[in-house]
């Protein structure tokens, strides 16, 4: 039964979407005769490789450095807020804060009167690889932390740390030399997802990235919309696939290179204790992260009420509450549509991941598989175009939900994996020995034990569904506008006051969901301790 | 777990409610795919939807970030669009693919369209009744009150200004259409034989455009970030202009200086001026795809959009401010800029390509 379910899930959510996308690939194949225009690709490709490698490394290092403190519930709240803010809303907020005409420069000018016009040499210009890298970092570190926290739950790492300390090791040494080597292999696929995301995300670099030329994904995107016969988009897709493969191998090499490094370091790293310093550094990031995400929301809120607000005025010269009043009747149906779509998709995606993982658990197959994650490794544009050819336009309802589930499923699998495959069978045996049937034991003992992981997965899937733009627009054929499709089209006009309002509303739903599901942390901790 | 179960149950109830309610609407829905980035346009379309509702038509504005998405769907996939807002290369692509209805014969209001307007060709492409003009676009610059002076600025004057004010001038990166039109306006200002650009690109193109490339070599070092980056869109440039990062913005709506000041989007005192002696002028159109499910209702929407009531409302400066295409009696219509005809369509890809070869 579970085996059949697991196979069915993989067929419906991984194999079918791939097959259904084939028409688009064939169609792309028509351009096979095109010769690569090297001058077009050279800079974007090298720029993208540099960006992806440095962002992934930084995410990994800072993620690992912080991971030790995320058991703390305040820390988890910060992660949730960062993670649930849709990435476009987050990018808009960061720009409002840090761009050359943003709040920071305005504040400097208000205090010191030194910047009468927006500074030309500002380190974070509106468009640069650096700005892009910072936004990506802030979005990806929480994702890695979420995965790391679910994986850490499966390791008795607190005991290791205690033992190491009793042997006179510093906490930092114990963390990097004992826990990290055990944790790293478990993060491999999450890191691969980060690599692919950095490589292929389009909307953030369109907003913040360089455009002379852009990063690879934006160039592919722009080529895709060109009408000329010399369409290089197909070659771009191949570049994307090639780079994914190369960077994945690099990642593999990096991860397998760590243990020898550890052996070397075990002999040479001094044993002094830096417990306090390390702790405060980790908490420092969390506080900065928390502050920043609150500031982002505050900036969006203020902008949504602003009338005219020209540099260097710190506060809006006038306020306009009318924007909220006039838009609200149009916004709430959008919230409703987004909400039910995300609820259903997240529930189905969570159930699907549970089916696959339950099969893995029963067959004692504990490794994280690449097959359920496959959809994270293929550009969304290609997939959706293929599905749409197959299904026809305006097929609202089932097809749309299916597409959302397809994109939510890899995330629920990633989040649930660690907790699920490592839960011990002895709980089931004990329950059965107390007179429960297997089914009762599963529903009444096993599932409640994994409640926290299930809630996390549901919340993440919910926010993934909320953020879907292309599938919602194309598969529903505009008959089901959601808060996201509206927000993206309004952001394209560059009126940040209205766009901020929509971005806030877009951030609201996942935020509510995260608070509802994960805010019950204290109760959960009691259960964890009991275990 | 119980909370989760309740959520799922609620979700399915909502789903069925939504599905069940849909067939109840007696009105004919018209799915109008149109760019959704301009709040003033969105507000106008809300007004139009309210008006049409009384005629038993349900106009649904499907907001898209780029209408090219839909054109791509229409030419290579499927779309449920009943009505689309297009011009230029999007029109050409749809015309070439044979995806547009011949509608000019069905629109009685077409008789009222101002015959002084050169709307029968859309970027050099003959309209042939496949689309109907909705509004008018004139390319010009917006400038702050203390920046560029006068009603027009020539290419040479702009270069001199940029040299005096380094980093304060820029333009949207071609092939963004404002950016490409910026290049065209410079070409007209620099060329001795501007009439040749109304003919298709020929062997002499390189020679004709040489002054432009030479000019840009001189201009770029004085631009924002020394021309190593450009605004991605006119909207982005407008924001930077509003905050004093740049001294100019570009616009296609001849009334935009007035409407945007009213909206509080740009500072008061913003002036409009043409780049070169006249403004490159084109039109934007409404068209019905052959795959439209509700052609009759879509035709009635077009009929309404061209009515005096709708066109007058569209021109109001506290709203969209888009100039009317019909002759409106006694209108205190805001004045148009001096007109320069649009280039032949073949120049568009030529300029984009040549620009990115040199400066990308």
DSSP per-residue string spanning A263-312:
HHHHHHS-----HHHHHHHHHHHHHHHHHHHHHHHHHHHHHHHBS---TT
What is the predicted pLDDT for the residue at A75?
62
Q: From the list B229, B244, B265, which residue is nearest A311 (CB)?
A: B244
Q: Which residues of A touch B68 (CB under 8 A)?
A: 225
- Closest-CA residue of A relative to B240 is A101
Band of residue B131 on the pLDDT scale cut at 50, 70, 90: very high
* Distant-in-sequence, close-in-space partners of B307: CB < 8 Å, separation ≥ 6: B109
Nearest to residue A504, comparing CAs of A321, A320, A331, A245?
A331
Q: From the list A118, A320, A481, which residue is nearest B245 (CB)?
A: A118
Do the Cβ atoms of A127 and B229 come within 8 Å?
Answer: yes
Q: Which residues of A touch B37 (CB under 8 A)?
A: 489-495
Do the Cβ atoms of A101 and B245 come within 8 Å?
Answer: yes
Strands (E), chain B: 28-35, 57-64, 83-86, 121-122, 125-126, 132-138, 140-143, 152-153, 248-251, 271-275, 279-287, 339-341
SS3 content of chain A, % helix, strand, coil (to 5): 75, 0, 20
Q: Which residues of B touch A394 (CB under 8 A)?
A: 31, 80
How large a percentage of chain B has pLDDT more than 70? 91
Kindly tell me if the per-residue pLDDT of B221 is higher than 90: yes
Most confident of A351-360, B321-330, B343-352: A351-360
What is the predicted pLDDT for the residue at A531?
41
What is the predicted pLDDT for the residue at A73?
55
Nearest to residue A197, comparing CAs of A380, A67, A437?
A380
Do the Cβ atoms of B232 and A385 come within 8 Å?
Answer: no
Q: What is the mean pLDDT of residues B100-121?
A: 91
Nearest to residue A464, comparing CAs of A405, A385, A378, A519?
A405
Do the Cβ atoms of B31 and A479 come within 8 Å?
Answer: yes
Q: Which residues of A touch B267 (CB under 8 A)?
A: 308, 310
What is the predicted pLDDT for the residue at B2?
53
pLDDT tens-digit series, residues B262-290: 888 899 999 999 999 999 999 999 999 99
What is the predicted pLDDT for the residue at A286?
67
Alpha-carbon gap: A259 to the closest alpha carbon of chain B (Å): 40
**B interface test, pick of A213, A451, A489 with most B CB neighbours within 10 Å:** A489
CB pairs under 8 A between A and B: 171
Alpha-carbon gap: B236 to the closest alpha carbon of chain A (Å): 6
Computed over its alpha carbons, how large is the radius of gyration of chain A?
Answer: 24
How far apart CA A123 and CA A115 sit, in angstroms, is 14
- Closest-CA residue of B relative to A393 is B79
Alpha-carbon gap: B111 to the closest alpha carbon of chain A (Å): 33
User: Which 3 state secondary structure label does DSSP give A133?
Assistant: helix
What is the predicted pLDDT for the residue at A273?
46
* Element at A3 (helix H, strand E): helix A2-10
Q: What is the mean pLDDT of residues B140-144?
A: 95
How far apart CA A103 and CA A233 sit, in angstroms, is 38
How far apart CA B178 and CA A244 sit, in angstroms, is 35
Q: Which residues of A touch B228 (CB under 8 A)?
A: 212
Q: Which residues of A touch B92 (CB under 8 A)?
A: 227
- Closest-CA residue of B relative to A310 is B243
- Closest-CA residue of A relative to B90 is A227
Most confident of B125-134, B222-231, B327-336: B125-134
Alpha-carbon gap: A273 to the closest alpha carbon of chain B (Å): 43
Q: Which residues of A touch B39 (CB under 8 A)?
A: 490, 493, 495, 498
Q: From the list A448, A495, A516, which residue is nearest B1 (CB)?
A: A448
Long-range contacts formed by B328-334: CB under 8 A, 24+ apart: B334/B254, B334/B255, B334/B258
Alpha-carbon gap: B288 to the closest alpha carbon of chain A (Å): 16
DSSP for residue A319: B
Nearest to residue A335, comparing CAs of A479, A86, A507?
A507
Q: Which residues of B touch A343 (CB under 8 A)?
A: 7-8, 10-11, 14
Alpha-carbon gap: B227 to the closest alpha carbon of chain A (Å): 9
pLDDT tens-digit series, residues B22-42: 544 567 889 999 988 888 999
CA atoms within 13 A on the CB side of B207: 6
pLDDT tens-digit series, residues B161-208: 999 999 999 999 988 889 999 999 999 999 989 889 988 899 999 999
Pick B357 or A38 by higher pLDDT.
B357
Q: Which residues of A touch B319 (CB under 8 A)?
A: none
- Closest-CA residue of A relative to B224 is A120
Do the Cβ atoms of B230 and A490 come within 8 Å?
Answer: no
Alpha-carbon gap: B141 to the closest alpha carbon of chain A (Å): 18
Strands B140-143 and B271-275 turn out to be antiparallel
What is the predicted pLDDT for the residue at B218?
96
Nearest to residue B57, comparing CAs of B297, B224, B261, B302?
B297
Alpha-carbon gap: A502 to the closest alpha carbon of chain B (Å): 12
What is the predicted pLDDT for the residue at A292?
80
- Closest-CA residue of A relative to B241 is A310
How far apart CA A402 and CA A9 sit, in angstroms, is 11
Q: From the list B11, B19, B235, which residue is nearest A493 (CB)?
A: B235
- Closest-CA residue of A relative to B77 is A389
Mean pLDDT by 10 residues, chain A (531 residues): 87 86 59 61 88 92 81 62 75 85 87 80 76 87 83 83 87 86 87 86 80 80 60 73 86 86 73 50 67 85 87 82 88 92 95 94 84 80 73 69 93 86 84 90 89 88 88 77 84 82 88 78 44 41
Do the Cβ atoms of A489 and B36 come within 8 Å?
Answer: yes
Q: Which residues of B touch A490 (CB under 8 A)?
A: 36-37, 39, 42, 63
Q: Average per-residue pLDDT in chain B? A: 88
Q: From the list A118, A206, A454, which residue is nearest B232 (CB)?
A: A206
Alpha-carbon gap: A491 to the closest alpha carbon of chain B (Å): 6
Q: Which residues of B touch A517 (CB under 8 A)?
A: 3
How far apart CA A81 and CA A147 sit, in angstroms, is 15
How far apart CA B203 and CA A197 sit, in angstroms, is 45
Do the Cβ atoms of B68 and A385 come within 8 Å?
Answer: no
Q: Which residues of A touch B74 (CB under 8 A)?
A: none
Do the Cβ atoms of B77 and A385 come within 8 Å?
Answer: yes
Kindly tell me if the per-residue pLDDT of B141 is higher than 90: yes
Q: Which residues of A touch B320 (CB under 8 A)?
A: none
Q: From the list B37, B233, B245, which residue is nearest A489 (CB)?
A: B37
Alpha-carbon gap: B317 to the closest alpha carbon of chain A (Å): 17
How far apart CA A228 and CA A217 sit, in angstroms, is 19
Whether ipTM > 0.85 holds is no
Do residues A270 and A477 make contact, with C-beta atoms less than 8 angstroms apart?
A: no
**Residue whose token pair is 């971005």:** A503
Nearest to residue B101, comparing CAs of B296, B294, B301, B290?
B290
Do the Cβ atoms of B10 and A343 come within 8 Å?
Answer: yes
């Amino acid at each position: 039964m579970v085996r059949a379910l697991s196979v069915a899930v993989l067929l419906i959510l991984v194999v079918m979407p791939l097959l259904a996308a084939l028409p688009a690939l064939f169609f792309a194949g028509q351009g096979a005769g095109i010769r690569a225009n090297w001058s077009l690709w050279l800079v974007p490709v090298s720029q993208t490789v540099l960006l992806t490698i440095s962002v992934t490394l930084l995410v990994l290092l800072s993620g690992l450095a912080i991971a030790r403190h995320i058991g703390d519930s305040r820390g988890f709240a910060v992660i949730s807020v960062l993670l649930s803010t849709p990435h476009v809303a987050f990018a808009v907020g960061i720009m409002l804060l840090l761009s050359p005409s943003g709040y920071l420069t305005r504040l400097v000018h208000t205090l010191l009167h030194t910047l009468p016009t927006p500074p030309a040499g500002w380190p974070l210009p509106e468009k640069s690889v650096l700005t892009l890298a910072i936004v990506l970092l802030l979005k990806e570190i929480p994702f890695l932390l979420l995965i790391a926290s679910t994986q850490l739950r499966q390791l008795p790492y607190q005991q290791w740390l205690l033992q190491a300390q009793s042997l006179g090791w510093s906490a930092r040494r114990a963390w990097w030399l004992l826990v990290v080597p055990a944790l790293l292999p478990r993060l491999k696929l999450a890191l691969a997802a980060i690599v692919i995301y950095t490589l292929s995300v389009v909307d953030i670099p369109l907003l913040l990235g360089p455009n002379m030329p852009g990063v690879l994904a934006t160039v592919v995107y722009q080529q895709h919309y060109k009408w000329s016969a010399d369409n290089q988009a197909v070659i771009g897709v191949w570049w994307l696939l090639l780079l994914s493969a190369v960077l994945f191998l690099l990642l593999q090499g990096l991860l397998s290179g760590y243990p020898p490094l550890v052996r070397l370091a075990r002999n040479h790293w001094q044993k002094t204790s830096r417990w306090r310093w390390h702790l405060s550094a980790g908490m420092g990031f969390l506080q900065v992260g928390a502050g920043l995400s609150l500031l982002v929301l505050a900036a969006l809120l203020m902008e949504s009420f602003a009338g005219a607000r020209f540099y260097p005025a710190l506060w809006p010269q006038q306020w306009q509450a009318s924007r909220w009043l006039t838009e609200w009747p149009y916004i709430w149906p959008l919230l409703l549509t987004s909400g039910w779509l995300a609820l259903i998709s997240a529930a189905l995606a969570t159930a699907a991941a549970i089916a696959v993982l339950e099969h893995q658990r029963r067959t004692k197959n504990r490794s994280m598989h690449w097959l359920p994650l496959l959809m994270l490794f293929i550009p969304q544009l290609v997939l959706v175009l293929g599905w749409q050819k197959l299904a026809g336009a305006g097929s609202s309802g089932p097809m749309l939900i299916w597409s959302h589930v397809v994109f939510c499923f890899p995330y629920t699998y990633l989040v649930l994996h660690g907790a699920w495959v490592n839960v011990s069978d002895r709980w089931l045996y004990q329950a059965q020995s107390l007179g429960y049937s297997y089914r009762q034991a599963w529903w009444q003992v096993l599932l409640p034990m994994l409640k926290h992981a299930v809630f996390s997965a549901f919340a993440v899937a919910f926010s993934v569904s909320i953020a879907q733009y292309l599938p919602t627009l194309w598969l529903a054929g505009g008959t089901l506008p959601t808060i996201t499709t509206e927000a993206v089209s309004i952001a394209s006009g560059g009126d940040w006051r209205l766009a901020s309002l929509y971005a806030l509303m877009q951030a609201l739903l996942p935020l509510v969901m995260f608070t509802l599901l994960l805010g019950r942390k204290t109760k959960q901790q009691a259960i964890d301790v009991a275990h | 777990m119980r909370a989760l179960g309740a959520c799922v149950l609620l979700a399915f109830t909502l789903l069925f409610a939504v599905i069940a309610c849909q067939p109840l609407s007696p009105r004919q829905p018209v799915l109008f795919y149109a760019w959704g980035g301009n709040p003033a346009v969105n507000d106008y379309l809300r007004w139009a939807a309210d008006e049409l509702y009384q005629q038993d038509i349900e106009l649904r504005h499907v907001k898209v970030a780029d209408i090219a998405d839909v054109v791509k769907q229409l030419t290579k996939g499927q779309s449920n669009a009943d009505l689309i807002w297009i011009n230029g290369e999007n029109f050409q692509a749809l015309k070439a693919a044979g995806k547009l209805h011949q509608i000019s014969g069905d629109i009685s209001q077409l008789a009222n369209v101002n015959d002084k307007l050169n709307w029968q060709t859309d970027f050099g492409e003959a309209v042939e009744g496949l689309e109907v003009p909705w509004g008018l676009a004139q390319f010009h610059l917006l400038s702050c009150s203390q920046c560029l002076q006068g009603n027009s600025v020539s290419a040479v004057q702009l270069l001199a200004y940029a040299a005096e004010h380094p980093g304060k001038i820029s333009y949207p990166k071609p092939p963004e259409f404002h950016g490409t039109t910026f290049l065209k306006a410079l070409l007209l200002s620099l060329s001795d034989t501007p009439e040749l650009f109304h003919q298709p690109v020929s062997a002499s193109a390189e020679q004709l455009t040489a002054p432009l490339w030479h000019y840009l070599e001189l201009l770029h070092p004085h631009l924002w970030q020394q021309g190593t980056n450009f605004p991605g869109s006119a909207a982005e440039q407008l924001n930077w202009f509003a905050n004093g990062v740049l001294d100019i913005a570009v616009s296609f709506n001849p009334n935009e200086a007035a409407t945007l000041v009213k909206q509080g989007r740009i500072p008061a005192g913003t002036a409009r001026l043409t780049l070169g002696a006249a403004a490159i002028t084109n039109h934007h159109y409404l068209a019905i795809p052959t795959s439209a499910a509700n052609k009759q209702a879509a035709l009635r929407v077009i009929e309404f959009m061209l009515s005096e009531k709708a066109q007058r409302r569209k021109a109001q400066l506290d709203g969209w401010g888009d100039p009317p295409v019909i002759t409106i009696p006694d209108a205190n219509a805001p004045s148009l800029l001096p007109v320069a005809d649009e280039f032949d369509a073949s120049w568009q890809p030529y300029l984009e390509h040549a620009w990115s070869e040199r400066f990308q």
